[in-house]
Amino acid sequence: MTDYLSVDQLLIERDDRLLFKNLNFSVSAGKVVQLVGRNGSGKTSLIRTLLGLMPDFEGQLTWKGKPLHQERDDFFSNLLYIGHKASIKSALTATENLEWLTAPYRKVTQEEIDEALAKVGLKGYEDVECHSMSAGQNRRVALAQLYLLDLPVWILDEPFTAIDLAGVDQLEARIAEHAAQGGAVLVTTHHVMNIDSLMKVNLDEFAPRGRHAG
């Protein structure tokens, strides 16, 4: 089983305040890692650290067994990251957003975009500017990338936010399908997921004493 990303003895602080330490886990082919923890426990900080946006940490981060900082190009060319804010530009249409978001990877056709938007329940919204869509619909536009890009590793920060029940079921099924096909997923969510290949990492267990949830 390919270990794509590994976190070894990771310690992260923000403003000299320890968020967590001694954190170890791997994001491997065929697995879904669900990152949980109370608000402020450091889930987004951990993702930002993996993305190279927070250089101050202790411990080792590896990509396919090699130091992540030396393998950034390979990491980013294999990664689909959908952040908490989902990177949707409100002045662009759903189609234009998806063309823009997928451009670094490959040229997608209008037909592919139409199909992906239909899969996330946005048939008929192809040419609608995102400022006239709801929060959940905006998130669905971002999630359409999960049907357009063939990248093995997904990092999804709170992907279920603002999504209705039907959308939640569909997203969960898509995540499970990706893992079943050999993909690897790191997802932060408080949503309870029923996925066989799921492994939970609870950051509260790695927080300093006295800062556990409760």
Ligand X SMILES: Nc1ncnc2c1ncn2[C@@H]1O[C@H](COP(=O)(O)OP(=O)(O)OP(=O)(O)O)[C@@H](O)[C@H]1O
By CB under 6 A, tell whether 20 contacts ligand X.
no
By CB under 6 A, tell whether 131 contacts ligand X.
no
Residue 12, classed as helix, strand or coil, is strand
Count of residues in contact with ligand X, rule CB under 6 A: 11
Long-range contacts (CB closer than 8 Å, 24 or more residues apart) made by 111-115 = 112/148, 113/144, 113/148, 115/147
Question: Is the Cβ of residue 14 or residue 85 nearer to ligand X in the bound state?
Answer: 14
Q: Given the rule CB under 6 A, which of 41-49, 73-81, 103-111, 114-122 is the region that contacts ligand X?
A: 41-49
Among 11, 30, 44, 126, binds ligand X (CB under 6 A): 44
Could you list the beta-strand ranges (E) of 64-212. Answer: 66-67, 79-82, 153-157, 184-188, 198-202
Closest CA to 95 of 114, 82, 80, 121: 114
By CB under 6 A, tell whether 85 contacts ligand X.
no
Question: Is the Cβ of residue 84 or residue 119 nearer to ligand X in the bound state?
Answer: 84
Q: Given the rule CB under 6 A, which of 38-46, 53-61, 71-79, 119-127 is the region that contacts ligand X?
A: 38-46
In single-letter form, the type of residue at position 133 comes to M
* Rounded least distance, CB 135 to ligand X, Å: 16
Question: Is the Cβ of residue 89 or residue 190 nearer to ligand X in the bound state?
Answer: 190
- Looking from the CA of 177 toward its CB, the CA atoms found within 13 Å total 9
Question: Is the Cβ of residue 59 or residue 152 nearer to ligand X in the bound state?
Answer: 59
Among 1, 8, 9, 14, binds ligand X (CB under 6 A): 14
Question: Is the Cβ of residue 17 or residue 72 nearer to ligand X in the bound state?
Answer: 17
State both tokens at 62.
């590896």
By CB under 6 A, tell whether 41 contacts ligand X.
yes
Q: What are φ and ψ of residue 10, in 5° steps?
A: -80, 135
58-63: strand order across its sheet: 17-28, 3-14, 58-63, 66-67
Interface residues with ligand X (CB under 6 A) are 14-15, 19, 37, 39-45
